[in-house]
Amino acid sequence: MTRYHIAHTLVNMLTNTAMAGDCTRSARIVLGGAMVAAEVDAAGEVVAAGRHIPAAEVLWAPATTGLVYGCVLNDPDSLAALGSALEAPPYRQPPQAPVLYIKPWNTHAGHAATINLPAGATTVDVRGTLGIVMADTATRVSAAAALAHVAGYTVVCDLSLPQANLHRPAIREQCFDGACPIGPWVVGRAAVPDPGGLIVRVFVNDELRQERALAGLVRPVDRLIADVTGFMSLAAGEVLLAGVPLRAPRAAVGDRVAVEIPGIGRLECRIASGPA
């Protein structure tokens, strides 16, 4: 099954789930050497290709297949951390529109993946956030209508190598292989009536290192979708991140990392060293 067909299968599953008011979770797993769509019930049992598979035995693929658009400076703490730098060149003023970046397909990884850092890197910043999965093409939608274009939500662990220069595109730092674990699954929109009420927690070696409420976003989920689709369309299956903090917990080679959003799921990965 191709990436295109899996994406549309997942979106259709989530759309049907939302219409039925069901809370089934949709996922992608590797089965027989191929990626297939799956469902995960409330007990954590995975059903794919007519088979019931214990979650502990599943090889998880990234929960989504579409492009992932990240968003920075969407929380007051990040804006405050930059302080007067926002008034200096080249910014000269706080951002007037969403500040976006892309996590390309090579960065996408599944739940429980081992992430190998680029050669020479020993630490990585861990930015946990909510992934907003689009149900259909959204172009110039209003905030009032924005959530109707959402298929569901997932957990995203946006990994980035530490960098101090904000005036240079951070391609190497943000786009290394595996730098965007997504999953373990996507929860249908009907199960999350108020995404602004969600809490994002980041753990390193089971120690809680960061907790933040999405209620404090500069642009809440509905407004963020409206503002982004005001200048670019979002397609079915694509993922828009609700915002990542400028200051993030740091993990090192050998650490176990987890991002948890109660009501959505817990996404885990392990940080490993890359080639010498």
**Secondary structure class of 132 (helix, strand, coil):** strand
CA-closest candidate to residue 217, choices 69, 98, 103: 98
17-21, 68-72, 84-88, 144-148, range with the lowest pLDDT: 17-21
Give the C-alpha distances (Å, rounded to integers) separating 8 from 152, 186, 232. Answer: 13, 13, 21
Phi and psi, residue 196, nearest 5°: -65, -15
**What is the rounded CA–CA span in Å between residue 58 and residue 20?**
27
Average pLDDT over residues 145-164: 95
pTM of the model: 0.89
Number of residues assigned to the chain: 276
**What is the rounded CA–CA span in Å between residue 180 and residue 174?**
9
30-49 per-position pLDDT tens digit: 988 899 999 998 778 899 98
- What domains can be seen in the chain, in order of their start residue? 65-272 (3.90.850.10)
Give the C-alpha distances (Å, rounded to integers) separating 145 from 140, 225, 229. Answer: 10, 10, 12
Angle among Cα 64, 143, 74 to the nearest 5 degrees reads 65
**Mean pLDDT over all residues of the chain?**
88
Residue written as tokens 């172009």? 139
| Gyration radius of the chain over CA positions | 18
pLDDT of residue 24: 74
**What is the rounded CA–CA span in Å between residue 100 and residue 252?**
26
- As a three-state string, the secondary structure of 173-225 is HHCCCCCEEEEEEEEEHHHCCCHHHCEEEEEECCEEEEEEEHHHCCCCHHHHH
3-17, 103-117, 162-176, range with the lowest pLDDT: 3-17
Question: What's the pLDDT band for 166 if we cut at 50, 70, 90?
Answer: low
Question: What's the pLDDT band for 18 if we cut at 50, 70, 90?
Answer: very low
86-139 per-position pLDDT tens digit: 666 766 767 778 889 999 999 999 999 999 999 999 999 999 999 999 999 999
What is the phi-psi region of residue 162: left when phi exceeds 0, alpha when psi lies from -120 to 50, beta otherwise? beta
Distance of CA 93 to the CA centre of its chain: 28
**Secondary structure class of 250 (helix, strand, coil):** strand
218-276 per-position pLDDT tens digit: 999 999 999 999 999 999 999 999 999 888 999 999 999 999 999 999 999 999 997 76
Residue 1 has pLDDT above 70, yes or no: no
CA-closest candidate to residue 220, choices 68, 74, 71, 77: 74
Question: What's the pLDDT band for 23 if we cut at 50, 70, 90?
Answer: low
pLDDT of residue 42: 79
